[in-house]
């Protein structure tokens, strides 16, 4: 009898224990803690989507996704770069610089960080900082012809034509058919009064790609010695891109004072009157 009573007591205690465990499990929720690998994967997926949205011009949506990606995993410099690009697209330049600084802290050996910084500094008219950032980027990526070209453009803005030409030459050596650098060499040499060399450079650039800027630049070079050709070239240039009728727009494209003066004289020619008016009307319509 005693053995039987002991057995009942033990069974009761065991049942009580398991009943309490089930009650506790019913009350305490189960939490899932994602691993670092899972966080990286999720944030990377969001970052890629943010970049795609940026590519398709959906700037606000891209910015929101990029912010979320960084919140999920803040130790990936690539995500900070994507966020910075989205911030630049949304004209949040100060925030973009902060994001790039975060990326640099994580990995200072990525040239894109410094090229992006340079782009921002140029937008906010801080040429010295833009130049310094570009030089850092080029040290990491010495054969980036676009970055070297951009550095040359800064020297062009500063009217340091010799240094600008050296950098354009370096850029062309890396990519011989880089017509933009050939064109900007033409801009630099015109300001140095070497109009004959400017003509050759503009002609060379046109042989690669017939661009409105180069056509009008060549027209302004030949207007004194060959008015007929200058008018033909100017008509073609304005038809391709009416914005080049505008002085301020040409200034944005780094045209110097001497070439601007020559172009203004050319555009006052009576034979270009209709073309100039048409170009101006197209600019108004598109604005």
Residue-wise pLDDT tens digits, 75-130: 999 999 999 999 999 999 999 999 999 999 999 999 999 999 999 999 999 999 99
Residue 84 lies in a domain: yes
Cα–Cα distance measured from residue 67 to residue 177, given in angstroms and rounded to the nearest whole number = 39
Domain boundary among 107, 138, 159: 107
What backbone phi and psi angles, to 5 degrees, belong to 163?
-70, -40
Q: State which of 55, 86, 107 marks the end of a domain.
A: 107
pLDDT at 38: 78
**Domain identity same for 281 and 189:** yes
Q: Would you say residue 16 lies in a domain?
A: no
- Choosing from 66, 85, 107, the residue where a domain stops is 107
Q: Is residue 217 part of a domain?
A: yes
Which residue range(s) make up the domain with 77? 40-107
What phi, psi does 193 have (nearest 5°)?
70, 20
Say if 102 falls within a structural domain.
yes
pLDDT band (50, 70, 90) for residue 4: very low
Q: What is the pLDDT of residues 138-191, one digit of tens each?
A: 999 999 999 999 999 999 999 999 999 999 999 999 999 999 999 999 999 999
Under the banding of pLDDT at 50, 70 and 90, the label for residue 42 is confident
- Which CATH number fits the domain that encloses residue 213? 1.25.40.10
Positive or negative torsion for Cα 40, 46, 52, 54: negative
Domain count, the chain: 2
Q: Rounded to two decimals, what is the model's pTM?
A: 0.84
Residue 169 lies in a domain: no
């Amino acid at each position: 009898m005693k053995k039987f009573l002991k057995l009942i007591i033990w069974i009761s205690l065991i049942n009580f224990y398991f009943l309490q465990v089930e009650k506790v499990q019913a009350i305490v929720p189960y939490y899932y803690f994602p691993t670092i690998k899972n966080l990286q994967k999720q944030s990377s997926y969001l970052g890629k989507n943010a970049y795609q949205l940026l590519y398709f011009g959906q700037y606000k949506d891209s910015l929101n996704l990029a912010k979320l990606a960084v919140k999920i995993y803040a130790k990936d410099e690539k995500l900070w770069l994507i966020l910075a690009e989205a911030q630049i697209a949304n004209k949040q330049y100060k925030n973009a610089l902060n994001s790039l600084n975060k990326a640099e802290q994580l990995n200072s050996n990525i040239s894109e960080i410094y090229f992006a910084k340079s782009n921002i500094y140029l937008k906010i008219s801080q040429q010295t900082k833009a130049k310094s950032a570009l030089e850092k980027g080029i040290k990491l990526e010495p054969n980036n012809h676009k970055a070297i070209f951009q550095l040359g453009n800064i020297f062009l803005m500063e009217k340091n034509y010799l240094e600008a030409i050296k950098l354009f030459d370096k850029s062309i050596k890396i990519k011989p058919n880089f017509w933009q650098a050939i064109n900007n060499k033409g801009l630099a040499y015109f300001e140095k009064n070497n109009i004959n060399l400017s003509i050759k450079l503009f002609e060379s650039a046109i042989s690669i790609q017939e661009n409105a800027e180069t056509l009008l630049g060549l027209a302004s070079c030949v207007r004194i010695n060959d008015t007929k050709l200058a008018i033909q070239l100017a008509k073609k240039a304005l038809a391709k891109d009416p914005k080049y009728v505008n002085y301020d727009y040409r200034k944005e494209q780094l045209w110097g004072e001497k070439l601007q003066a020559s172009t203004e004289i050319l555009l006052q020619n009576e034979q270009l009157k209709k073309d100039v008016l048409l170009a101006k009307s197209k600019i108004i319509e598109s604005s």
